[in-house]
Structure 1
Amino acid sequence: MASQEVDVGQLSESQQLALQQYTAVTDQDVNSAIPLLQRSQWNVQIAIAKFFDGEGPDPVAEALAAQNTPPPRAGRQDNLQESLLFGSARSSSTSRSRNTQDDAPRIVPQPEDQVVHRPPFILSLLFTPFSLLYKLFSSSFGLFSFLFPFLPRLLRPNTATSTGRRSNTTGRRSLKPRDSAARIKREFEEEYGDNTLPFYEGGYAQALDVAKKDLKFLLILLISPEHDDTSSFIRDTLLTPDVQSFVANPENEMILWVGDVRDSEAYQVATALRCNKFPFTGLIAHTPQLSSTSMSVLTRLTGPMPAGTYVAKLQSAITAHSEQLAAVRATRSAQNFERTLREEQDSAYERSLAQDRERARVKREAEAAAAEQEQRALREAEAAADLAEKRKQWRKWRAKTVLPEPSPDDKDVARIALKMPEAARIIRRFPSDAGVEELYAFVECYEFVTLGVELESVPKPEGYEHKYDFRLVSTLPRVVYEPENGGTIIERVGKSGNLIVEPIKDDEDED
């Protein structure tokens, strides 16, 4: 056995790593730590247990440490990607990984008794007699097994399976993880009274995912009511004010998950974490030095212990690992800040782009409206010019068909005095059979009829319906003579009359 003046530089890599882990947990000086590690065959767990619990005789642990045989490990639940990426690294550093934290597997229990296979309806009807006989036989066999309890054990000697599950012999109903957590909390309060422990109301897999996502410490507590130390540990250690305040302190960033090994999920967790003594406490946290998604067991506390020692060990493990989690939190915070900033920049760019698109749309609509207005004005001008051209053509055509004025010797005529809009007063004689429309045509074509202009023979415009933009009225009393009413001039006006040519205004047309 080496002396206490052993040079640290002369130690091997695994011994230096064990010394570093031991001093980080116990905060003991190097000169005192090296002899204790040497007496523990450089096994960190045994040395830490001796430091806190006293260096009593432990021949089994000493023999295991001397033989350097690693403890049995539970089946790992790795995915293919992690196996491909980190398989070679793990195989090359096997000796070093034995001294580091063990991985905390993610377990999603699927109890077989929760899977219900329902046969088709027709088959269930066919097998109903057999089902009744089976139930009758089962009830009879249950009474028989109660009278002779040794027979079921002889018929079924192996109740445990190699997959880590065990048959339910306690009569405890198997529930889903969330319901099972609620039941444990209720039973805990009924047995030990009210407490301030922050029980996580969910399954182990959910608690592990929350701890990984939020970078918190997951405190696993596995209890077995059949164990003698369970009741004393809960009353004298777990429910003390110091432990309750430590676990419930939000500054410790801790999630508490309690499992009863009588339940399927807690039993599988105990098997995966290699728990062989109860009550068992495990502190799990994210270990970024291994991988970006790994969760490892930082410390294991088994059996009863004083509340001060229990809190000191948990606090030591949290303090040793808090710096790594703080670095990961800072990295995630920076990444979230960059992501938020990038999202805000993208959102501002999208808003600016939307404003540009809106301005471009408004501009296009304004240009389209202006072009449409211009086209409409052009069409209206063309239509007005075409209407004026057809109106002039109609007036020329109608001037050629206006009845000539009768001779002065003709007595059967109508003599009409017309007051024109240009303040001119003219007198015109019309035949006795001339209608009122003839009088309107004379006024409309007056410039072509009375001026003696030689008119060319023009055809009547096609698709044109002439409307007079004036009316002929008489005063005292006021009478309007519309051409649509028909009748001759003599019948409507008389042989003589004074009429006023009154233009029709636009507002009157609209009315």
Structure 2
Amino acid sequence: MNHVNLTPSQRQTLTQYLSIVQSSDTQEALAILESTHWNLETALISHYETTPHANDRLNLISNSTSSQRNAVNDNVPSQAEASTFPGGFPGMSSSNIEREAINPAANNTTRSFSDVIQRYLPFLSSIDITSNIRNSDFATLETQSKVIYIIQWIIYVPVLITYQVSSILFVILVKCFPIIRRLAQNRLGRKSEPTGLNPVQTANEFISSFQRYYDRTGELDWFEGGYSNALYVAKRDARFLLCYLHSAEHDDADEFVKEILLNEQFKLLLKEHNVLLWAGDVEKSEGYQASNALEIMKYPSLVLLSLKTSTQETPSGTTTSSPKLSVVSRIQGLIPTEKVIRRLKTQIDKLQPTLITIRTERQQAELSRMIRQQQDQAYQESLAKDQARETAKQEELLKQQRKKGWLEWKLSQMKPECTTPGQFSRIAVRLPSGARIQRCFSKNEETLEDIYTWVELNLQELIAGNEPLQAIDSNVSGPAGSIEYQFGFNLNSIMPRVKIDCDATVPIGQCNGVSPNGNLVVEMLYQ
């Protein structure tokens, strides 16, 4: 059969079949539809080759709906209307037809389960609760089903009522107290805020943002640090601390900044009294913690802190407590600029003398401490000098004792004056005092050091010329350990002027300046 000669109902069935099986072979589709007498369900079964059980099930569905299908086919809509329902049935798509045709048993099982859910679990249904079960349906339920249904309602109704009442109360509280919503938002913001941020970095970010949007000239001198650092600086320097708590979500934030913070009188007041200005964003953890510590309930806010002292009468007299940083003024929300300046100026003028007194006392205490430190330092330096002087004196005394012991030992070891003709050198020495001494030294047995030792003994007045001035102890032992005696003079020959070295290894006979005879003069090194 040519598809041109088809009736409108057959053409519609062909279109539905081709769309479901997703095929463009019209001749094959016409052959299958003609063999099934233009029954769409039977044609689909023939196409998909389902199991015999599925075929039997679908035949039952087809027979039960054949009369309805014929009625629909007799009233097939026009081509324009048919385009509205691609599957050919209002409210039924091609995918639904395919699903019902392929597995009707599973579809019926799903429908029966849905009916059970609708009947026994009313709170899962989107339909009105009163329409879930009619009285006639409830009466037909089994006793066990009735018990289950009643238990569900006993559990469901209180929960539903509690939820509805709680929701209504929360909405009322949020409307009446906006602070609850802001606190919840701030808490959520703190949870999402990354941890480990540096307070200095947070302060710099706020200052940069503030100067970019409000104060491009940077006239406000913000403290670049955290809240705890600002408290420490205010205590240390005895300064007023003004904390500004900013909330970008508040409607009055922009107007508060422009009308108050950027006011010329306000900036002049801060500059005249050297007020430390710190700011915190309540959406950040630093600002939120400062807000809680300062007990702020409305934003934006200004809080003035200052050191205060308190007096107390005691049996021993009036005592003054140590200065403590306290809140002296809170300005919460947008109020007239003149009122803000007046309140701040009143507290500043009231507490300024206290801060001046505290600073003066601290300066005096610091000055006293520095004076004591300088005195202690001078005492320690003087003590160190005295100790060094005493140590040097002891060392010098020990050195002199060792020198004297060495000279006494050399005196005891000094050989007699040589008188063997041709074996001695006659040495004459002029002392610094002008005296002239003379001695004959063995050319081969005595060295140049012996000449220096002889002159040193005369200078130290242990001998006069060659005669000892005190008894010589022959049992004097040599100095413990090695000692290098430092002579404080040089011996020079007169003509020509040549220095005679002090050498313990050179015999006198080998030195031209003193052999066979020598005329020397003493040149002192240390005057």
> Do both share a fold (TM > 0.5)?
no
Q: TM-score, normalised by structure 2?
A: 0.42
Higher radius of gyration, 1 or 2:
2
Q: TM-score, normalised by structure 1?
A: 0.43
